[in-house]
Amino acid sequence: MTYTRTHVILFLGPLLLIVVLMYGMMAWTAAVAMDDWVGMAPVWKFAGWNNFHALLTGTLRQRFLTSLRNNLTWLGVFIVPTASLGLLLAYGLDLVGRAERVLRPLFLYPMALSFVVTGTVWAWMYDPDAGVFNDILRSIGLGRWAQPWIADPTLGTFCLIGAAVWQYTGFTMTLYLAAIRDIPREIFEAARVDGATDVNLFRYVVVPNVGHATMIVVAMLILVTLKVFDLVWVMTFGGPGNSTEVLSFFMFVATFRQQFVGIGAAISVVIMVLAIAVVVPYAWWSTRRLPT
Amino acid sequence: MTRHQIVIRWLAIALATTLGATTALYAAEQQQLVVYHWWTAGGERQAMQVIFDAFTKKNSTTKIVDNPVAGGGGITLKTVLLGLLAAKIPPDTFQSLSGAELKQYVDGNYVAPVDDVWTAQNLNANYPAVIGKMTTFSGKHYGIPMNAHRANWLFYNTKLFKDLKLAPPTTADELIAAAKRIKAEKPGVAPIAIGTREKWPAVFLFDVVLLSTGGPDVYEKFYTGQLDVATSPELRTALEKYKDLVPYLYEFHGAKTWSDIAGPMAEGKMGMMVIGDFAAGLLVQAGFKEGVDWDAVGFPQKPQEVFLMIVDTFVRPVGAKHPEATTAWLTNLTDPQVQGTFNIVKGSIAIHKAVPDSTYPDKLHRTASATFKSKRIVPSSIHGVLAPPAFLSDWQDILTRFLYSPDVKRALTEISDAMTLDKVTESGNWYWAK
């Protein structure tokens, strides 16, 4: 089939629009980050690196570092359980045979929920008085282990991460399931003939053969941790105090509630730089390890 | 013609039709009034309908295009408006709080003066002077208010207070003493109900403590940056008393919103709660009776009782497409009849002096209306009415952090830093303008 000019306009047009819009907005944000814009209406007054400087020193420093630390906590605590639980579930589904048809959608449902729903439900579950977690602990006689959960400044972020793990496990499971199905069945059969158990299969067949899925899963989860916002907004509103704030939350509050638009844009730039700094080396490192 | 070409042709036709139809729809638009507001919750939505009905009765040819944006105090609406206004496609009117919050739109040149409506309706005489002050910037009025909420109520559980023969406290010290009594005699009851998951209720509680230790003058000075934070004895005392309250607060306040704990207070699981009059509506809806399950008193009573006020206004955006409709809308809001009916449903009180106190079905709002007419009215700090919204955001964080680790010295430093960063003194000058 030959491509006509109409094809070119029809298909490249929207692509161009998306590219221009996205990169245009990125450039716009970078420009605002260098600008002393405070208030509702745009103020174009070049400020150089002042906004970034303000984040790193002075009054905003503590808040910026708290947000950054929380993002890094997300990065460190969220990805490994979500990816490994997903892989385990996927392997389990592969083993159970026909029941998979029923189970797979069940595990995927959380993914279909909006973060606002997840956040609200999990905030109820974490409720120190009436929440299901403390209820369970109390009913099995472990009441002394009951926690304030999201009402505790040090536990808060981990509680949020718990909700996110629940929501994203179905997603990683699906990706891993596809990867497992890609492994030639003969390998499994040969291994079984040689007497391999399910655990052996997992260890020596599945894990070494899902590297490409891991790469996608981890890269996507990294991006999730850097842009997480909704759960924080719904479950803790950044509190108690600022203890569960993340960069995107800080950015939203600074821009739209406090109208430090320049500062907000500077935080957005930091988020973008972080995303690039984490994802690009990771993608480079993992593609090199994959067999071509 | 190949199949591809046919498909493409049909796609092009469909696109052209959509575009054409949209343009035609815009061209055919009749006289409209595009309204943006945040009254979306249960009673609020019905209250808005009261205004709509009254407006349509007077302006039958104008169609109201209603754009409600949920989010208490308009936090989400503000984000939406920021985009619309910067893109120069303003609605015909939108809701804003008065004072510092309204000033942001004035500073951005997004709203036009409403002095014509103000003068025509003789609002200088019909509204209290402080309302005029809250809407005046550089000598011009920029908003038409229509209702006032009172922020300084102390709700309490009636049965509990009867049981313990407690009188409702009138000062911060009495509040602490009452809390102490409750804790000693009813260990299972949380003396002070508060939910800080949305942070701002922490400010409600602090505000009444500051009014008690410093009085209204200190209060106004503090929130407009006229007080020396480091040396002011009133502020330090207020923080110390606030600290004294911490052991008596509901333990898990960080996990709850104010609406989560209003019910338990009326049930008797908690004792007292400092919150605005809007809590009354929620309690009544939940089946709790005023005077039987709960009661409320203005707080503090000493050194003087004030009406701590939150005011909603509507404005006239610059470049609104239907200016006559805007004027008709703003005029409608000043109608005492409309204000009376609206406020009964909304759970606030009318600000027009012609609306009698007896309008309201419940004691709380009748008292509020009488206090509004007889006592000093002080603009509340809540929702950025007195202090600039930038400071309010930091202030909520400082206070909720304080409730978890009460350190007066650190709090004072944080307040003074935030005041500098958020330019509170500079932005507060409008309040002191003659």
pLDDT, tens only, A174-186? 999 999 999 999 9
* Chain A neighbors of B394, CB-CB under 8 A: 258
Domain ranges of chain A: 53-289
> Do A86 and A171 touch, CB atoms closer than 8 A?
yes
Which amino acid is located at A19 in the chain? Answer: V
**Fold annotation for B29-149+310-372:** D-Maltodextrin-Binding Protein; domain 2 (3.40.190)
Q: Give pLDDT, residue B43.
A: 77
Identify the CATH number of the domain defined by range A53-289.
1.10.3720.10
d(CA B49, CA B53): 6
Strand order, beta sheet including B270-275: B190-192, B270-275, B153-157, B294-298
- What's the pLDDT at B134? 92
| In the predicted structure, residue B76 carries a pLDDT above the cut 90 | no
Contact present, B313 and B186 (Cβ < 8 Å): no
Contacts of residue A159, defined as CB under 8 A and 6 or more positions apart, other chains included, come to A122, A126, A149, A150, A235
| pLDDT for the residue numbered B353 | 94
Q: Does domain B153-308+381-432 match CATH 3.40.50.1460?
A: no
Which ipTM did the prediction report? 0.85
pLDDT at B22 over 80: no
Whole-prediction pTM value? 0.88
Residue of A2, A43, A257, A263 best to disrupt the B interface, most CBs of B under 10 A: A257
pLDDT value at residue A105: 86
- Residue B331 three-state SS: helix
Q: Do A41 and B253 touch (CB under 8 A)?
A: no
The answer to which of B17-31, B157-171, B355-369 has the lowest mean pLDDT is B17-31
A202 alpha-carbon distance from chain centroid: 26
Whether omega before B233 lies within 30 degrees of 0, making that bond cis, reads no
pLDDT level of residue B176 (50, 70, 90 thresholds): very high
Residue intervals of chain B classified under CATH 3.40.190.10 are 29-149+310-372, 153-308+381-432
Q: How far off is chain B from A196, nearest CA to CA, in Å? A: 50
Task: For residue B350, list its beta bridge partners.
Answer: B147
Q: Let me know if B126 is exposed, middle or buried by CB neighbors in 10 A (0-12, 13-18, 19+).
A: middle
C-alpha A200/C-alpha A211 separation (Å) is 17
- Evaluate the omega torsion of the peptide bond into residue B187 and state whether it is cis, within 30 degrees of 0: no
pLDDT above 70: residue A1? no
| Residues B38-56, mean pLDDT to the nearest whole number | 89
In B186-285, which residue ranges form alpha helices assigned H by DSSP?
A: 201-223, 233-245, 258-267, 278-285
How far apart, in whole angstroms, are the C-alpha atoms of residue B245 and residue B259? 21
pLDDT computed for residue A291 by the predictor: 60
The residue whose two tokens read 């409750």 is B182
Give the integer Cα–Cα distance in Å for B182 and B162.
12
Residue B198 has which token pair? 């949305």
Contact A33, A269 (CB under 8 A): yes
| CA–CA dist B402, A241 (Å, integer) | 8
Coil, strand or helix at A216: helix
Q: Which of B88, B106, B229, B397 to mutate to test the interface with A (most CBs of A within 10 A)?
A: B397
Please report the pLDDT score of residue B25 as a whole number: 60
* CB-nearest partner of B199 from A148, A151, A239: A239
pLDDT above 80 (res B16): no
CB A148 within 8 A of CB B255: yes
Residue B214 CA neighbour count, 13 Å, CB half: 26
The pLDDT assigned to B224 comes to: 94
Q: What is the pLDDT of residues A23-34, one digit of tens each?
A: 999 999 999 999
Least Cα separation, residue B411 to chain A (angstroms): 12
Given a cut of 80, whether residue B117 has pLDDT beyond it is yes
Q: At a CB cut-off of 8 Å and minimum separation 6, what does B48 contact?
A: B37, B39, B66, B68
* Lowest-confidence pick of A251-265, B6-20, B392-406: B6-20
> Is B293 in contact with B283 (CB distance < 8 Å)?
yes
A120–chain B Cβ distance below 8 A for any pair: no
DSSP string, A104-117: HHHHHHHHHS-HHH
Contact: B401, A240; criterion CB under 8 Å = yes
Does residue A42 register a pLDDT over 60?
yes
Higher pLDDT: A274 or A97? It is: A274
Are the Cβ atoms of B394 and A239 closer than 8 angstroms?
A: no
Residue whose C-alpha is closest to residue B36's, from B79, B84, B93, B82: B93
One-letter amino acid at B10 equals W
Can you give the C-alpha Rg of chain B in angstroms?
Answer: 24
Contact at CB, B108 and A6, closer than 8 angstroms = no
| CB-CB neighbours of B187 under 10 Å | 7
The answer to whether the beta carbons of residues B92 and B305 sit under 8 Å apart is no
Q: Which residue has the tokens 């410093």?
A: B214
- pLDDT > 90: percent of chain A: 61
Residue B212 one-letter amino acid: S
Q: Does A123 touch chain B (CB under 8 A)?
A: yes
Strands B270-275 and B190-192: what pairing? parallel
Question: Which tokens belong to B153?
Answer: 């109520």
Residues in A touching B82 (Cβ below 8 Å):
40, 256
Is the pLDDT reported for residue B1 higher than 70?
Answer: no
Is the Cβ pair A239, B11 closer than 8 Å?
A: no
pLDDT at residue B28 greater than cutoff 70: no
Per-residue pLDDT tens digits for B298-328? 999 989 999 999 999 999 999 999 999 999 9
Q: Look at residue B49 in the predicted model and tell me its pLDDT.
A: 93
- Contact between B43 and B277 under an 8 Å Cβ cutoff? The reply is no
Closest CB from A40, A58, A150 relative to B82? A40
* Cβ neighbours, 10 Å, residue B330: 23
Residue B427 parent element (H or E): helix B424-432
- With CB atoms and an 8 Å threshold, state whether A39 touches B108: yes
Q: Which residues of A touch B421 (CB under 8 A)?
A: 58-60
Closest approach of A203 to chain B, Cα-based (Å):
42
**Residues of chain A found within 8 Å of residue B85, distances taken between Cβ atoms:** 40-41
Helix (H) or strand (E) holding B378: strand B376-379
Measured between CB atoms, does A127 come within 8 Å of chain B? Answer: yes
> Quick one: average pLDDT of B11-26?
72
Question: Which backbone phi and psi does B295 adopt, to 5 degrees?
Answer: -145, 165
CA max distance for chain B: 93
Torsion, CA A72, CA A74, CA A75, CA A81, rounded to 10: 150
How far apart CA A17 and CA B127 sit, in angstroms, is: 53
User: CA of A229: how far to CAs of A83, A144, A221, A277, B252, in Å?
Assistant: 20, 32, 14, 20, 23
Query: Mean pLDDT score of chain B, rounded to an integer?
Result: 92
Distance from CA of A256 to the nearest CA of B (A): 6
Q: Report the alpha-carbon distance of residue A79 to residue A85 in Å, rounded.
A: 10
Instruction: Kindly report the number of other CB atoms within 10 A of residue B101's CB atom.
Output: 23
- B233-245 vs B201-223: helix crossing angle, rounded to 10: 170
Angle of the B172-185 helix axis to the B233-245 helix axis, nearest 10 = 10
Confidence of residue B36 (pLDDT cuts 50, 70, 90): very high
Instruction: Please measure the distance between the N-terminal and C-terminal CA atoms of chain A and give it in whole angstroms.
Output: 31
Q: Of the candidates A56, A33, A47, A80, which has an alpha carbon nearest to the alpha carbon of residue A255?
A: A33
Provide φ and ψ at A41, rounded to 5°. Answer: -85, 145
| DSSP secondary structure letters along B237-248 | HHHHHHHHHGGG
Which residues, numbered 165 to 224 in chain A, qualify as contacts with chain B under a Cβ-Cβ cut-off of 8 Å?
A: none
- Report how far residue A129's alpha carbon sits from residue B131's, in angstroms, rounded to the nearest whole number: 42
Of residues B139, B114, B144, B142, the one with CA closest to residue B126: B144
Tokens encoding A224: 């999730």
List, in order, residues 6 or more apart from B82 with CB less than 8 Å away. Answer: A40, A256
**Longest CA–CA separation in chain A, Å:** 74
Bridge partners of B290? Answer: B294
Asked if residue B390 has pLDDT above 80, the reply is yes
Query: Token digits for A266?
Result: 């500077």
Question: Which pair of tokens denotes residue A184?
Answer: 């030639």
Contact A218, A40 (CB under 8 A): no
Alpha-carbon distance of A20 to B219, in angstroms, equals: 51
Chain centroid offset of residue B303 CA: 25
* CB-CB under 8 Å, B417 with A256: no
